[in-house]
Amino acid sequence: MLQHLWKTALLSGILAIILGALVWFWPAISVFVAAVFFAAYLLVTGITQVVFAFALHVSASGRVLLFLSGAAALILAVMCIRNFGNAVLLLAIWIGIGFIFRGVATAVSAISDPHLPGRGWEIFIGVISLIAGVIMLAAPFDSIETLTMVVGIWLVVLGVFEVISAFGIRSASRDLAALRQESQAPAPQ
């Protein structure tokens, strides 16, 4: 299996480099594509939740919550589909709020546990995530384009490392195959 794993890692690395380069060099198009997928996600989620509100055997309050959540997702999906600028704005707000929640949760949990390994780094990451979320909410269009370029660069870097590791895996599999052949060879008498 190790003999074929390197091919998968190589293909994955090459695809990450290509996708990263596309995202990096065309952030506006990448943001638009992400906004289209986000609108589709909201549409599918909304329909699913509304259907589940009537199909699942849950309590009345559960049905109401599913229906309201689904209806809200459908309304947001329609707003996004009518104007993809809304989808980009909503996506940036979604990411910003996610950063804020993650930042607060990470920082608070690290502050509250004095025995946590790497506690200082966790607090630092929490504060940076919180700041990133506030920036996303303060300047959603500019920051989502910047975030997209960073993601593109990150994908290129990850792809390069994955390609390098693929050749390392290939070398290790060859060494392992040679060792296996040596161990299976009859002993000289």
Cα–Cα distance for residue pair 130/98, rounded to 1 Å: 9
pLDDT at 1 (0 to 100): 64
Distance CA 93, CA 52 (A): 27
Q: CB within 8 A of 151, min separation 6: which ones?
A: 20, 23
pLDDT digits (tens, 9 = 90+) for 11-31: 999 999 999 999 999 988 988
Q: Is the pTM of this model over 0.85?
A: no
* SS3 of residue 1 by DSSP: coil
Instruction: Summarize pLDDT for 130-144 with one digit per residue, the tens.
Output: 999 999 999 998 888
Q: How far apart are CA 122 and CA 109, in angstroms?
A: 9
Domain boundaries defined on the chain = 2-177
| Count of residues in the chain | 189
